[in-house]
Amino acid sequence: MKQIIIIGGGIGGLCTALALQQKGLTAQVYETVNEIKAVGAGIILAPNAMNVLARLGLADRAKALGMELEHLELTDAAGKKLMPVPNKEETIRDFGFAMIALLRSSLYDLLLKALPPNTVLTNKHFERYEENADGVTAHFTDGTQATGSVLIGADGVRSAVRRQLLPQVQLRYSGQTSYRGVANMALQGAQAHIAREAWGSPIRLGFVPIGFGQTYWYSTVQTPAGGTDVDKASAKRQLLAWAQEFDGISRAIIENTPDQSVIRTDMYDLPPLPTWHSGRVVLLGDAAHATTPNLGQGGCQAIEDAFVIADQLNRLSAQQAPQHAFAEYERIRKPKAELVVARSRQLGSMVHLRYGWQRALRNGLLRRIPASMGKKQSQDILALNF
């Protein structure tokens, strides 16, 4: 196979380049920004992603860059548990790895360092592609072009590759915007290895120890799309005002966050797409199955995609067309990725309830969920099917 073109140097694009390169296939990543750096604060890598990183030889390094979490705890605003959650030992026993929390920038550094130099070309804004019997050509806004055997669209939730491949597809707004940041503050004692998410009103607030004296936090609030804050300092003030019902630690975490690290992102996802590929072009990661972050799985699913697409392209015989690999990739990955999108959307719709009685009813129901049901749901998502 000739050169493989990857549009987008995010988690999915970089992992795909790495997985292809480890199979002996050559890929070039084209990224719009002029310097690759992580957008977003921290990230949790669940065991499904860690198992793929292990196959790519990166799991130990990922672990060393972050924090192994004891468990993820879901509570009400007063800190009372809402659902039973497996602990670290159970997670390792069932899936081989614990949840690992780290800075997004550390994950990007890890992936970039593992790639051969010059794999990623920056300042390349993809505009459109053109196909013929021999290959596919990507056109960039600087007037340059690149030709390869196949083109992988890993250009995120607002994918330009998807716009050309499936122009009718529309993103769905979740009704919620998110705030994220990294506090210069370490959690102490029993909290030091536990990720906590508390559902209050009007916000949900989660925080995750990431080691090295820092804590990653996120928050969501129900609001129309497209809203803005005057500046990051006022966003932080607003969050602190909303966080009155949470404990002192939660507020201290926000207070100890440099204003500049606060990021606001409206949360969108995609409905199931009719297909992920056509001709020599295929979608991957958020471009194919953008999900709300309620399950913390968007990046993990992109990492799963990366391994499977590389594996399927590697298995192609000289006589087989790329569509054969794409169809297999879609068969293996689409049901699971879409299950994640659907479950995440469903979970998100339960978070921000308007009335106290609705929240009390929900909390009561969640507390009655049997541990066996939680286990089954984890199995669906955290186990690999390839």
Ligand X SMILES: Cc1cc2nc3c(=O)[nH]c(=O)nc-3n(C[C@H](O)[C@H](O)[C@H](O)COP(=O)(O)OP(=O)(O)OC[C@H]3O[C@@H](n4cnc5c(N)ncnc54)[C@H](O)[C@@H]3O)c2cc1C
What is the binding site for ligand X (CB under 6 A)? 7-13, 30-33, 40, 43-44, 124-126, 154-156, 160, 178, 180, 218, 265, 267, 285-287, 293, 296-300, 302
And the tokens for 37?
């750096």
Count of all residues that appear for the chain in the document: 386
- Of 93 and 158, nearer to ligand X (C-beta) is 158
- Of 25 and 270, nearer to ligand X (C-beta) is 270
**Residue at shortest CB range from ligand X:** 10
Q: Is the distance from CB of 188 to CB of 65 less than 8 angstroms?
A: no
* Cα dihedral across residues 186, 192, 196, 201: positive or negative: negative
Q: How many CB atoms lie within 10 A of CB 152?
A: 34
What letter would DSSP give residue 165?
H
Least Cβ distance, residue 381 to ligand X (angstroms):
11
- Of 61 and 139, nearer to ligand X (C-beta) is 139
**What distance in Å separates the CA atoms of residue 184 and residue 212, rounded to the nearest whole number?**
9
> In terms of Cα–Cα distance, which of 159, 197, 176 is closest to 290?
159
- Of 216 and 246, nearer to ligand X (C-beta) is 216
Q: How many CB atoms lie within 10 A of CB 346?
A: 12
- Of 129 and 246, nearer to ligand X (C-beta) is 129
Least Cβ distance, residue 197 to ligand X (angstroms):
11
Least Cβ distance, residue 185 to ligand X (angstroms):
19
Contacts with 350 (C-beta within 8 Å, 6 or more apart), sequence order: 362
Residues of the chain by 3-state class (helix, strand, coil), percent to 5:
40, 25, 35
Least Cβ distance, residue 356 to ligand X (angstroms):
26
Least Cβ distance, residue 167 to ligand X (angstroms):
15
Q: How many CB atoms lie within 10 A of CB 80?
A: 10
Q: Mark out the alpha helices in 122-247 (DSSP H runs).
A: 160-165, 232-242
Bond from prior residue into 202 cis (ω within 30 degrees of 0): yes
- Of 47 and 363, nearer to ligand X (C-beta) is 47
Least Cβ distance, residue 256 to ligand X (angstroms):
19
- Of 108 and 246, nearer to ligand X (C-beta) is 108
Least Cβ distance, residue 25 to ligand X (angstroms):
19
And the tokens for 14?
């970089």
- Of 148 and 299, nearer to ligand X (C-beta) is 299
Phi, psi angles (nearest 5°) of residue 176: -130, 145
Burial of 94 (0-12, 13-18, 19+ CB in 10 A): middle
Least Cβ distance, residue 161 to ligand X (angstroms):
8
